[in-house]
């Protein structure tokens, strides 16, 4: 069994077997295992367990990190539509992607955008924002990367984020999952059906934490 110390929104646990127990229902579970400190969380659309810090701890089992998308990939047609919309303007653009009625839906919310930044103008409880599983924004002809501003604006959410860049000549994408105040890079093809012309820029960095 895994030993948990429970708090209202977070569980702290020590793994003593490699098979993890069912989810506790808390927002985040921190697990100390033989291979380090891990974070586990889930929502109906995805499950994730990531390694925050690498340690070798004797007499504790190793837990394998995982990421599971429990929905079909975003179809190539929607990816192409985002690329087209982002390529035809000279400023950033924000997209929300939600899943209902057994298919993905693309929404362009009201927004304030410049060549360097975009923010949503949707009301706080707008359904397209509330139901979004993925947020995508563009960097126009600049490189695809997550900025410090992105870290601040995306903290506190549990969803997938992506940035499109180098448009329109050499479109690239950078993708990550945000788990409240933690971020972890993803291979874009885990989430999207990738057009051949779209280059996946998997950022090489350790799991980041924002306080």
> Do 91 and 158 belong to one domain?
yes
Rounded Cα gap, residues 53 and 39, in angstroms: 10
Calpha distance 5→62 (Å, rounded): 20
Number of domains in the chain: 2
Asked if 114 and 56 sit in the same domain, the reply is no
Per-residue pLDDT band at 209 (split at 50, 70, 90): very low
Query: Beta 157-165 vs 103-107: how paired, if at all?
Result: unpaired
Specify the pLDDT at position 4. Answer: 55
H/E run at residue 77: helix 76-87
pLDDT of residue 205: 46
| Pair of tokens at residue 115 | 């060549």
Is pLDDT at 210 greater than 50 in this prediction? no
Domain ends where: 39, 69, 99? Answer: 69
- What is the H or E stretch that residue 52 is in? strand 46-54
What is the value of pTM for the model shown? 0.88
- Computed over every residue of the chain, the mean pLDDT equals 89
33, 36, 42, 46: CA torsion to nearest 10: -120
Alpha-carbon distances, residue 38 vs 157, 202, 209 (angstroms): 19, 21, 13
Whether 161 contacts 167, CB under 8 Å:
no
Whether residue 197 is found in the same domain as residue 104: yes
Q: Which of 69, 93, 117 is the last residue of a domain?
A: 69
3: confidence class by pLDDT, cuts 50, 70, 90: low
pLDDT at residue 125 tops 80:
no
What's the pLDDT at 206? Answer: 43
Do residues 112 and 138 share a domain? Answer: yes
Task: State whether 149 and 85 are in the same domain.
Answer: yes
Residue finishing a domain among 69, 96, 116 = 69
User: Domain holding 102: CATH number?
Assistant: 3.40.140
Decide which of 33 and 7 is more confident: 33
Q: Do 82 and 169 have their domain in common?
A: yes
Based on the domain organization, do 123 and 141 belong to the same domain? yes
Cis peptide before 168 (omega within 30 of 0): yes
Confidence of residue 7 (pLDDT cuts 50, 70, 90): low
First to last CA, the chain: 31
Q: Residue 75: in which H helix or E strand, if any?
A: none
Phi/psi for 35 (5° steps) reads: -105, 10
Instruction: Answer for the pair 20, 2: CB distance below 8 angstroms, yes or no.
Output: yes
For residue 88, give its domain range: 76-209
Q: So what's the pLDDT on residue 32?
A: 94
Q: Is residue 80 domain-shared with residue 113, that is, in the same domain?
A: yes
8 Å CB contact between 91 and 113: yes
């Amino acid at each position: 069994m895994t030993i948990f110390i429970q708090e209202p929104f977070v569980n702290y646990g020590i793994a003593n077997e490699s098979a993890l127990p069912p989810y506790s229902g808390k927002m985040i579970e921190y697990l100390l295992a033989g291979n380090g400190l891990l974070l586990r969380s889930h929502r109906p659309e995805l499950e994730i367990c990531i390694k925050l810090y690498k340690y070798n701890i004797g007499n504790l089992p190793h837990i394998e990190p995982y990421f599971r998308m429990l929905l079909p990939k975003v179809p190539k047609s929607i990816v192409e539509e985002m690329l087209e919309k982002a390529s035809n303007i000279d400023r950033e653009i924000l997209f929300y992607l939600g899943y209902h009625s057994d298919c993905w839906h693309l929404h362009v919310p009201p927004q304030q955008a410049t060549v360097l930044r975009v923010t949503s103008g949707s009301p706080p409880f707008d359904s397209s924002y509330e139901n979004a599983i993925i947020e995508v924004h563009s960097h126009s002809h600049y490189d695809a990367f997550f900025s410090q501003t992105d870290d601040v604006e995306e903290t506190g959410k549990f969803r997938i984020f992506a940035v499109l860049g180098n448009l329109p000549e050499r479109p690239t994408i950078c993708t990550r999952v945000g788990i409240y105040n933690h971020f972890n890079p993803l291979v874009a093809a885990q989430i999207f059906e990738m057009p051949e012309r779209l280059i996946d820029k998997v950022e090489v960095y350790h799991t980041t934490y924002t306080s």
